[in-house]
Structure 1
Amino acid sequence: MSYDPNQGNNPGYNPPPQGENPAGYPPPQGPYTGYGPPPPSQEGYPGGYPPPPQQGGYPGYPPPPQEGYPGGYPPPQQGGYSPYGPGGYNEPPAQPLPLGDAIRQLPAQYLRITTRPSANTFAMEKGKAAWNIVWVQLLFLGVVAAILIALYVGVALPTLMSTFNSNSSIPPSTFNSIKTLYASSAIPLGIGALIFTIVGFFVGVGIMFLIAKAFGGQGTFLQHGYSYLLFTVPLTILSYLVALVPFIGSLGSLAISIYSIVLQVYMTMAVHRLSGGRATMAVLILPIIAIILVCVFVIVLITAVSRSIPSH
């Protein structure tokens, strides 16, 4: 039955109930009463697109990346490095690299660590720690140390002795025997340097790791050892090369040793999330104890010698 507007006064007409729409019956006008799709929502998304503008206007999302680390991570710090935690440094997540990529990145990492020393620099690198790249660096350092020590004992040292032999009273036969001894011991000393490099790494780093833990450190042994090698490998090789230079080699090696201590402090701050004071104490406590023991030994030795000398 079609709708007739003249039936409005027909007492027999019963309009259909609300919510039903028989054929030919027009939907009511005005507020929504159930006919047709609901109007779009003004809040949220979907159904209310576009979303309400963000503070400061829309578009503008996403915010531009911060300067520094790729992708804007981490945000730049105010006033330099501070201990981890609220208001501190947000380290990147741990992402060990494939061995081939890790090896290719080592030269750039060595240069970055040694020329731009800071706790932030170490914190950027420690997430790449993995045992495979640790062993690669250890073996590389051990082989280089073995070669350089063998060259020094078998070639450089006899040559240096030959230079001063003209002013010495050593017989030629004795001098030739000494040169032969040095030449024959070059290979065993090189092998010993390789073994000592690997064993000394685990012993030395293990002791430093335990000391850092005693001062409240939170890092792992893997991160500690990996970060330690990032500056130890280039500086150790440089120290061996400088030692080959006569006269100034010892001074150069001393300067490199002091600089490595500074880098170790920064490394301890980053790996173990320690403040500068705690990291410095964790690094210097062993040298301080060693200096005290040496001083005590010298005093005891001088006292014993003085008492053994008869008084006149």
Structure 2
Amino acid sequence: MSYDPNQGNNPGYNPPQGENPGGYPPPQSQSPEYGYPPPGGYPGSYPPPPQEGYPGGYPPPPGGYPGAYPPPQQGGYAPYGPGGYNEPPQPLPLDEAIQQLPSQYLRVTTKPGANTFAQEKGKAAWNIIWVQLLFLGIVTGILGAISLAITLPNTLNSLNNSHISPSTLEQIKTIYASLPVPFAIGSIFAVIAGFFISTGIYFLIAKAFGGQGTFLQYAYSYLLFEVPLGILSSLVSLVPILGSLAVLAIGIYRIILQIYMTMAVHRLSGGRATLAVLILPIVLIILACVFIIVLVSLLARNISTQQ
């Protein structure tokens, strides 16, 4: 059948099925039951996007629309990566993970942010956690032993001026002189035990605030800043007076990094992550103040009773 252009002006014209001469679509008033666009047509191109489809047209580009799908989970934290949602990296072989640690330490401590930790947490594995813990314990123990050896002569000199008997003084000096080696060995166990206790408490607190991360990711991400900053604190503590101020500044920076890390691992907003990190120190400070007040009041009462 030939196509008559005038038939396009007839609202009742229905073309035979399977026939569309010249590729010309039916009039815009045509019923949608034939699969043609509704009145006004689809903007852009055919086929149309779904009712709640991707922004910017259909079909989506390979890999999806950055930042659009899937949406971030509740809590206000942005998706992985600077440009949108990307799957986190997978754990690395142990030798490769060890080789990447220096660059990870540098990136985490010099470019603080939730996205930085989000891009690293997927590499979490227990083998690299234990390697870092042993390394931190050994280095901390050696630096602690050096610090003890430096302060030991002053301590022994102060004992010489005391009223302690010569035999007792000699025993004390012997004990002090042998302290650096067991101190270094004990530091390894102290670092490991302290790490799991502290991270376990902070992890449970973050969970109570709605955190969604795993303990493995939390422990791994925590070590990414704890290892370099912990070693740096031990080094600067060897410097008299100024070292104490530097340790304080490093401690404050640790808290900031821990907040970012908690945001990334647990998908929490900045406010919730801050509370999850600071609530334990706040409670400890309050308890310390209460203890000091009670202790002072008891001492004052004891003094007044004796008078």
- Counterparts in 2 of 1:159 and 1:295: CA distance versus 1, 3 Å: same
The answer to whether the aligner puts 1:130 opposite 2:125 as a matched pair is: yes
Deviation at 1:251, TM superposition (A): 1.3
Instruction: Give the aligned partner of residue 10 of structure 1.
Output: none
TM-score (norm 2): 0.69
Partner deviation per Cα, 1:109-145 (whole Å, 9 max, x = no partner): 1011111111111111111111111111011001111
Alpha-carbon distance in 2 for matches of 1:197, 1:302: 34
Deviation at 1:248, TM superposition (A): 1.6
Alignment of 1:188-203 (within 5 A): 188-203=182-197
Alignment of 1:178-189 (within 5 A): 179-189=173-183
- Counterparts in 2 of 1:244 and 1:296: CA distance versus 1, 3 Å: same
2:152 to 145, 158, 161: 158
Instruction: Give the aligned partner of residue 144 of structure 2.
Output: 149
Q: Which has the higher contact order (CA 8 A, sep 6+)?
A: 2
Q: Which runs of 5+ in 1 are unaligned?
A: 1-40, 42-51, 54-61, 66-71, 76-80
Alignment of 1:31-46 (within 5 A): none
Deviation at 1:73, TM superposition (A): 7.9
Partners of 1:82 and 1:89 within 8 A in 2: no
Partners of 1:91 and 1:124 within 8 A in 2: no
Instruction: Give the aligned partner of residue 47 of structure 1.
Output: none
Could you say what secondary structure the match of 2:182 adopts? helix
Could you say what secondary structure the match of 1:274 adopts? coil
Instruction: Give the aligned partner of residue 283 of structure 2.
Output: 289
Deviation at 1:63, TM superposition (A): 7.4
What is the identity, as a one-letter code, of the residue corresponding to 2:234?
Y
Q: Which moved more, 1:246-255 or 1:227-236?
A: 246-255
The answer to whether the aligner puts 1:99 opposite 2:91 as a matched pair is: no
Deviation at 1:288, TM superposition (A): 0.6
The answer to whether the aligner puts 1:169 opposite 2:161 as a matched pair is: yes
Alpha carbon RMSD of aligned pairs, Å? 3.4
Instruction: Give the aligned partner of residue 204 of structure 1.
Output: 198
What is the identity, as a one-letter code, of the residue corresponding to 1:169?
N
Instruction: Give the aligned partner of residue 107 of structure 2.
Output: 112
* Greater radius of gyration (CA): 1
Q: Which moved more, 1:302-311 or 1:250-259?
A: 302-311
Instruction: Give the aligned partner of residue 258 of structure 2.
Output: 264
Partner deviation per Cα, 1:224-253 (whole Å, 9 max, x = no partner): 000000000001100111111112222111
Deviation at 1:85, TM superposition (A): 6.4
Number of matched residues? Answer: 239
- Counterparts in 2 of 1:307 and 1:285: CA distance versus 1, 3 Å: same
Could you say what secondary structure the match of 1:103 adopts? helix
Instruction: Give the aligned partner of residue 229 of structure 2.
Output: 235
- Counterparts in 2 of 1:205 and 1:96: CA distance versus 1, 3 Å: same
- Counterparts in 2 of 1:121 and 1:94: CA distance versus 1, 3 Å: same
Partners of 1:74 and 1:92 within 8 A in 2: no
The answer to whether the aligner puts 1:309 opposite 2:303 as a matched pair is: yes
Alpha-carbon distance in 2 for matches of 1:216, 1:227: 18
Deviation at 1:182, TM superposition (A): 2.3
- Counterparts in 2 of 1:270 and 1:226: CA distance versus 1, 3 Å: same
- Counterparts in 2 of 1:294 and 1:171: CA distance versus 1, 3 Å: closer
Could you say what secondary structure the match of 1:245 adopts? coil
